[in-house]
Structure 1
């Protein structure tokens, strides 16, 4: 197991190099085999465009496939072809490969938004598209134009939560915790029963956020109206030392309550671990999508979800950045804009994507529709077991929204480093003090790079 853990960093470096290049080459991204972004793509009289996205959980993939198929069935002049790429931390690297090879799709599932806007790689989203959206879920860049619009419901990081076995809770008289202390006592009670409290994953390093972010959120929330923690740290007003307590809690939980093998477990495997009763709870960042995945695997399993509260009982949740470096969503590439037919087709698809018809398809397939102005007309899907827990979180009186949008265009690289540093601390490769020192040194280097 230790040799597997020690190879994590090497695997990440390999993915960013030869392995990932080979993967995108196999998809036709390096050799120009995909013609969706070039003139003449598609059959005679039809403009075909490519929609590149990060392959996520099964529900997300199913939702996109259903919406694209419905669009293509009703469209007379354009067709959309889905082009999935590796998700997680591999995806930003894949975007860099697309950029380096000048083979952008027409529609792109965006990461590092601010960087690509500044580099002139994205085209403005037409007003006929933004007019369909709630005014709070998109924002203009410094030039007054909109470059990214949401791919799903902009409900912040409520999707980062704990999924649990409701039948187990009922059998043992357990309750959803309302404070952090109650969360720890809950896991102690489960352990006393002879069962494993929590399954989590780090086979891909991005799921490590699922346990970390709720623990760090009380610190982050304190800096919400002061420019955010990461900007304060960049300015020297805060430091990695401020995160000592949540890092210690992360280590303590991993040591005492987490199912062994988490270092090589992938995010999707936590669903299997939960329904097979290897653990009573599991971390997730898929929101209702994870609940839908569980239902597909075992329709009889009664799942619920909650967010780890802080010491005072607050549920601190990061808002979605609507135009910053951490913003995610859908964009149109500047490369597609150079071809009038491509740009028109991309605009037409996004217009459909934010329609009531498309929203109903999203809901039917287990997702949550984007925040459109005609949201009252959407047929909401309440059939997924546990889904009501998600919607109740949106109305929870203890919910505290906070902002933490880093302005550095290099932050995604630091985030990857910090995830790896946390994993090394959790599995005993480094100490808490060493993890803090390493992260501070990397943050300082990131700040110098701009």
Structure 2
């Protein structure tokens, strides 16, 4: 696959900013106020659904679920507002907020920020009653503002996809410790092949390798409120992440396919099936396995998570409340229009139906934890799926928590992602990266008050 010339982080940021601005203009042009309007026949209320693209499986799930909903609804038409891949979603939400043109249903980030600003409406019990009780939680005011768009398997989908046939041919095994993982990378390179493909063109996929390497450090703070809250309180610092940053830099320099700076997340599937790399990072779990099978049905894919030095598989647990609690939300702007709000509720009720869950599973998405989950047809036919479900049964699996409680975390996270990419690219040193991210963290914690 041809890779475009490596761009600097500054040029990437300019492109992202331009994309966000264009998206905001497009969103503003969808409707004059909140987005609720009647169609040509006057019989249906039209609402908008803003969601993050980039993950091909999620894109197909949204498209199929919305199409199926529209086909069966006599009162509502949902129109999609996909945010273009490459845009920084958290920043884009700020732009949407600045335009005053909120969609009715939002694939939410930075929930606490917008709850505090009065931008989200409470989700009614007729929706939450369709979910398992531990799949959502109320905010301090007693209202539920987000509901999950997938099963609560945390970041189990943050893993390494690999070519099983290559492993078998070269007598390679899935690593049981971190040292095993490094030895695996070395062995593949010694064979004259590229060990790993990864992506950073969209910024967020840079988490895919990083979080697996940093998980052991994050897990140490799980019982102390999480690393980011400890750092905000001064009980931890960016210096504590120096070792995984050094590991990241070493792996990128020695074992990652060149061109990662301009590689989009979806491209790693093609790189893998075309034998340009033996492994690839992913955050899509079953969805990436499904994508690979669509591109090449004969490709024998498997997955694993990079273990720590003791063999533990540390995985971030879902947060159902707090600043990092993603999910689907209804905007306060939609709640000001009774028809638009009713349509948003109608759509969410369908989203948590057995019919919608079956569509999701068919497309390689693990559906949300609904009460009627026993009626859902699980998709275990995807090649490699046994590896994913096997992780849930692995005795070395350790769940950890790391949900920031300060409202400005998204700014820290975006800055840290950009800074890591610059470090990986050799534009800054690890010590320089640590210093400037620490300064940004302290500034944002102070801004949060």
TM range (shorter): over 0.9
Shift of 1:41: 5.1
Equivalent residues in 2 for 1:269-418, closer than 5 Å: 269-418=267-416
Equivalent residues in 2 for 1:19-38, closer than 5 Å: 19-25=19-25, 27=26, 29-33=27-31, 37-38=35-36
Contact 2:200/2:262, CA 8 A, preserved across alignment: yes
Single out whichever of 219-228 and 439-448 deviates more from structure 2. Answer: 439-448
Alpha-carbon RMSD across the aligned residues, in angstroms, is: 1.8
CA distance in 2, matches of 1:4, 1:273: 17
* 1:41–1:99 Cα change, 3 Å: farther
Tell me which residue corresponds to 2:12: 11
CA distance in 2, matches of 1:14, 1:250: 25
Shift of 1:45: 2.0
Q: TM-score, normalised by structure 2?
A: 0.96
Contact 1:42/1:48, CA 8 A, preserved across alignment: no
Tell me which residue corresponds to 2:439: 441
1:444 is paired with a residue whose SS is helix
Shift of 1:294: 0.8
Q: Which runs of 5+ in 1 are unaligned?
A: none
2:74 is paired with a residue whose SS is coil
Is 2:232 aligned against 1:225? no
CA distance in 1, matches of 2:157, 2:30: 36
CA distance in 2, matches of 1:42, 1:366: 35
Equivalent residues in 2 for 1:24-423, closer than 5 Å: 24-25=24-25, 27=26, 29-33=27-31, 37-40=35-38, 43-87=41-85, 90-423=88-421
Deviations 1:369-420 (A, max 9, x none): 1111111111011121111211111121111111111112111111111112
Contact 1:37/1:106, CA 8 A, preserved across alignment: yes
Deviations 1:166-204 (A, max 9, x none): 110111111111110111111111111111111111122
2:333 is paired with a residue whose SS is helix
Shift of 1:59: 1.6
Contact 1:39/1:339, CA 8 A, preserved across alignment: no
CA distance in 1, matches of 2:422, 2:169: 36
* 1:105–1:321 Cα change, 3 Å: same
Q: TM-score, normalised by structure 1?
A: 0.95
1:158 is paired with a residue whose SS is coil
CA distance in 2, matches of 1:194, 1:39: 59
Deviations 1:340-372 (A, max 9, x none): 111111111111111111101111122111111
CA distance in 1, matches of 2:389, 2:425: 35
**Count of aligned positions:** 446
Contact 2:85/2:202, CA 8 A, preserved across alignment: no
CA distance in 2, matches of 1:43, 1:90: 37
